[in-house]
Amino acid sequence: MTAIDSYVRELDRRLHGPRRRKADMIVEVRDGLQDAAEAVRAGSPEVSDAEAERQAVEEFGSVPAVAPEFQSELAVVQAWRTAWVFAIALPLVMTVTTLMWRAGSTGVSPSPAYHDLAHATDVFLIAASVGFAVALLLLHLVARRAASPVALVRIVGVAAIGTVLTMMGSGLFLTMGAPTGGTSLWGALVGGLPTLPGYGLLLYLGVRCLRLTRTRGPGAGRPSRRPAPVPSA
């Protein structure tokens, strides 16, 4: 295994995040190192291929030194995707639940407490959707300039987890107290089983944002010395 192969393999092992973006990073690093090694050989023909690769790797920087920078970029991409999904999904959830409510309405007026909870849930979904849309804008505008976007990524992760848990709790209470005939907690849980895959996916996105900002080994978690790229879907 050559010096470049060994370096790229160790970097690949250290990085975690969206697979496509990570694969692109690894390819870019390998190509850059190979170009650097070729430049060394062109400037010093007497240098062996192995020595040229060793010099290229040494100039690029050790894996513990550069991995946090790439990990930061992967975390930003994950946060961008998470914010994008929530900004789109929350209005859809509110629209679908409203249509289901109207379709199943029997003309029975809900209690004031039930009405207030339903209204608060709608307001929360609207506010959360706007918040994630703002997060998308911040990830575009701030990530390039910030010394480290880790804090912003964590905010998106915490907001995603909090939003999902709030939606699940509100859904349970609304189901249990439905004016057309409430149900027990167990009945509400069983009735909500079809929604678990969707909630699970949203919760996973939030947890993943937090995991990708976690310190991993020596040198991980340091502020990035270069601005993160503007992520794309």
Look at residue 133 in the predicted model and tell me its pLDDT: 94
Is residue 25 in some structural domain? yes
Half-sphere exposure at residue 169, Cβ-oriented, CA atoms within 13 angstroms: 9
Residues 85 and 192 in one domain: yes
Residues 93 and 138 in one domain: yes
Residues 112 and 27 in one domain: no
Look at residue 1 in the predicted model and tell me its pLDDT: 78
Residues 202 and 170 in one domain: yes
Distance CA 192, CA 120 (A): 20
Is residue 144 in some structural domain? yes
Is residue 228 in some structural domain? no
> For 102-154, how does the pLDDT look when each residue is reduced to its tens digit (9 = 90+)?
655 555 667 788 788 888 988 999 999 999 999 998 888 766 665 567 888 99
Instruction: Tell me which residues of the chain have a pLDDT lower than 70.
Output: 100-109, 142-148, 179-182, 187-188, 190-192, 215-233
Look at residue 228 in the predicted model and tell me its pLDDT: 40
Q: Provide the domain limits for residue 42.
A: 3-61
Look at residue 173 in the predicted model and tell me its pLDDT: 80
Look at residue 215 in the predicted model and tell me its pLDDT: 58
Contacts of 155 by beta carbon, 8 Å cutoff, 6+ apart: 135
Residues 55 and 100 in one domain: no
Is residue 37 in some structural domain? yes
Distance CA 192, CA 43 (A): 67
Residues 91 and 178 in one domain: yes
Residues 133 and 193 in one domain: yes
Residues 12 and 119 in one domain: no
Residues 197 and 132 in one domain: yes
What burial letters (b/e) apply to 48-81, b meaning 16+ CB within 10 Å?
eeeebbbbbbeebeebeebbbbbbbbbbbbbbbb
Residues 32 and 134 in one domain: no
Residues 53 and 168 in one domain: no
Q: Domain count for the chain, please give it.
A: 2
Task: Tell me the two tokens of residue 200.
Answer: 């699970």
Contacts of 99 by beta carbon, 8 Å cutoff, 6+ apart: none
Residues 127 and 177 in one domain: yes
Is residue 147 in some structural domain? yes
Is residue 81 in some structural domain? yes
